[in-house]
Each structure stands twice: as C-alpha cells, then as structure tokens.
Structure 1
Amino acid sequence: MTNFLIKTVANAAALLVAVWLIAGITLTGEDTGRQALTLVLVALIFGLVNFVVKPVVKLLSLPVLILTLGLFTLVINALMLLLTSWLADVVDLSFHVDGFWAALLGGLIISIVSWALNMILPDDD
C-alpha cells in the first residue's frame, strides 16, 4: 500500500511539473486545495490507465516499437496522457490536454520526472 501511495505522489508531482512547463496542459480550480485534490485524482486515473491500458497498447504495437527502436513509446505515452485527459473530463475534473503535441511533450516530461522521483523516493521492493 505504501508503494502505491508513493507512486501516486510521484505521478502527481510529475503531472504538476508538466502543467507548469507545457502551455497546452491545464489544471484549473477555485483554490489551491481543489487543484491539489484534482491533481491527486488525475494521478490516480493516470496510474490506472498506465496499469491497464498501456501494456495492451504496447503489446499490440510491438512491431512498430521494434522498428522504431522504442521511440514509439513516446507516442504511446502521449496517447495515455490524452486518454487520461478525456477520462478526467468524463468524471468532471478540471484537467485538460490540448492536442497531441502538448501530450507528447507532457508525456516526455512526466516520464523524466517520474523516473527521477522514483529513483529518489523509497521503494518497498
């Protein structure tokens, strides 16, 4: 359970960095508390999407991943971020990604920040 909470906090921090750096990724809310709650809920959705959908997409796109030497993973990350944005809109969370290019840059930033935070934060394994 602790590992799940740590990964969720790392995802939330990575999403926050992407919101700060990419103009096409927005997080709105009335106050800071509501924005923080929205960010945690979006991080949970993002984690669920990455846990359930991403492995299936990677398996189905395996020939393209091999052909591009893994660079297609950036496109998959962008698609997962767009799916997260769409699901956040469905459940009425104020998180939005404006298009593929914002999602591509956001996915790259989220991957780098998540990797760095997971290296720093403790792990139960």
Structure 2
Amino acid sequence: MSNSKDAVNILIQLVLGGIAILITQYILPGVVVESFVTAIVVAALIAILNLTVKPLLILLTIPITVFTLGLFLLVINALLIMLAAEIVPGFSVGGFWWALLFGLILGLINSLLGVSLGENRR
C-alpha cells in the first residue's frame, strides 16, 4: 500500500514541478519550454540531478560556499539548470543569469504550490 502511495506522490510532484516550470517560463523570456511533457521531463531531470550531482558539487565547493555564506548554492543550481537545458530537447535557457533567475523563481513557485495544496513534507 505504501509503495503505491509513494508512486502517486512522486507523480504529483512531477506534475507540480512541470506546472511550476511552465509558469516560470511565462515569466522569464530567456527560458523556453516547448510542451508540458518537456516540462515534466525537465522536472524529473532536475530532481535526479539534485539527488545525484548536487551533493557532490556541494562537497567539492564547501570552502567557497562557506565564504559566500551559502550564496554559491545559487550558482550550483544555475549550473544544474544549464546542464538540464543541454540534455533535454525542447528546453533552453538563454545563459547563466536566466538559469539563476529560473532557479530562484522556480523554487518560489514550487514552495507556493506546495503550501497552497497543503503538501505534507515529512
């Protein structure tokens, strides 16, 4: 029973991530997402990168992250978004600054969607 509930939660998170990506695309002219399916693929890839690559990057950049009081994590997020744009056809980001803004706005929209839908994060 728990496995099916987990699968449904993952699907809901992917759909919400796709919606957040589409909303962010409409806000930022430097970001292009061709379709909702592309947005869901981007959401899944960003989640996978955040689980696999991001911890390694954080570990390798501890000194600069500490020196910048954590602001370097925004750079890491932007780099992961740019990597996702290179991998996923139909998703493009117009450069580093667009990727940085995309990450900031995407995080804000994801938070708002999670709160408005009563998401339980335990």
Which TM class, normalised by the smaller chain length? Answer: 0.7 to 0.9
Q: Which amino acid aligns with 1:59?
A: L
Question: Hey, what does 2:120 align to over in structure 1?
Answer: 123
Report the TM-score, using the length of structure 2 for normalisation.
Answer: 0.84
Question: How far off its partner does 1:53 sit?
Answer: 0.9
Superposed, 1:61-100 pairs within 5 Å as 61-88=61-88, 93-100=89-96
Q: Which has the higher contact order (CA 8 A, sep 6+)?
A: 1
Question: Hey, what does 1:21 align to over in structure 2?
Answer: 27
Unpaired runs of 5+ residues, structure 1, are 29-34
Counterparts of 1:6 and 1:63, CA distance in 2: 36
Q: Deviations over 1:33-64 (max 9, x none)?
A: xx111211121111111111111111111111
Aligned residues: 115
Counterparts of 1:55 and 1:116, CA distance in 2: 25
Q: Residues 124 and 113 of structure 1: is their aligned pair in 2 closer, same or farther, counting only changes over 3 Å?
A: closer
Q: Deviations over 1:60-81 (max 9, x none)?
A: 1111111111111111111111
Q: Is the 8 A contact 2:22 2:36 kept in 1?
A: no
**Which of 7, 12, 15 does residue 9 from structure 1 map onto?**
15
Q: Is the 8 A contact 1:42 1:95 kept in 2?
A: yes
Alignment root-mean-square deviation, CA: 1.6
Counterparts of 1:62 and 1:116, CA distance in 2: 29
Question: How far off its partner does 1:94 sit?
Answer: 0.8
The sequence identity of aligned pairs, in percent, is 37
Question: How far off its partner does 1:124 sit?
Answer: 6.5
Unpaired runs of 5+ residues, structure 2, are 1-6
